[in-house]
Every structure is written in C-alpha cells, then in structure tokens.
C-alpha cells in the first residue's frame, strides 16, 4: 500500500465537494511528476486531502478506487486520472505550519515539492499526520 497527499484549492474542488459526491475522478493534473505519481497509484492506496491556497491544511482521508485511465477532460493522451472515494473527515485539521514544526515531517514532500498536486509520502509520515489529526 502507498500513501499520498492530494491537493486542491477549496474554491476549485473542496473536501465538502468530495463528501457530497462520495467518489470523483481526480482530473486536470497537468504536471508530469504528478502524472507519474498517479500512474503509481493502486486501488486501496490512501490519500490525505489537502486544502491548498488560503487554508493550507489536511482535512480528511480518501482512498484510490481505480487504476489510472485517460483523463476525460483532455484528448491529450499524456494525462491520466484516478477515481478517489471519501473516507474520513478529520476532527482536527492539520495545518501546514504544524507540519513544518514537526521534526518527523521535515523531509515530507509537501514541504519540498510545494507546487505538486499529488505527492507521495511514507507510511511513517502518514501515521504521524493521522496522530496529529486525532
């Protein structure tokens, strides 16, 4: 199993949108590194949902429900998507500042690859964030 952070500005697509729809296609990714990460995703992988923009916080957990496939929002075959399903809204959101202040998260991709909308994280980083959300 792999662990990921997926990012979206709440004004574009929020956690509330995902909860309302329950499942969605993670379309519109137009960065090759993020696309490569999507191609690595497997059914059952866990994603932490991060509100970028003004909020800058992890707000919930979702899971990958499909293998990657052609992104239907473009005819360009370079771009793919996966389906994700909402799993759990965090009672305590985990802010970017909290993540920056955790020594155990000093190497997390969220801090190193700030422009990517899909970021791979380690199991240890995932477990630390889950602990922080409780």
Burial 99-111 (b: 16+ CB within 10 A, else e): beeeeebeebbbe
What number of H helices and E strands is found in the chain?
5, 8
Number of domains within the chain: 1
pLDDT cut 90: percent of the chain above it: 97
Domain that includes residue 64, residue range: 3-132
Q: Domain with 123 in it: what CATH number?
A: 3.10.590.10
Residues 6+ apart with CB under 8 A from 131: none
φ and ψ of 75, to 5 deg? -90, -10
pTM of the model: 0.96
Residue, of 115 and 74, whose pLDDT is higher? 74
* Both structure tokens of 59: 């707000």
Residue 114 has pLDDT above 90, yes or no: no
40 confidence band (pLDDT: 50, 70, 90) = very high
């Amino acid at each position: 199993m792999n662990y990921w952070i997926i990012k979206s500005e709440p004004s574009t697509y929020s956690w509330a949108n995902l909860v309302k729809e329950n499942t969605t296609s993670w379309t519109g990714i137009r960065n090759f590194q993020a696309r490569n990460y999507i191609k690595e995703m497997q059914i059952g992988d866990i994603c932490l949902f991060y509100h970028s923009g003004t909020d800058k916080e992890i707000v919930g957990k979702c899971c990958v429900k499909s293998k990657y496939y052609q992104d239907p929002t473009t005819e360009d075959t370079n771009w793919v998507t996966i389906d994700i399903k909402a799993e759990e809204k965090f009672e305590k959101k985990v802010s970017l500042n909290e993540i920056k202040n955790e020594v155990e998260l000093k190497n997390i991709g969220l801090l190193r690859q700030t422009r990517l909308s899909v970021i791979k994280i380690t199991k240890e980083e995932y477990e630390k964030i889950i602990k922080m959300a409780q």
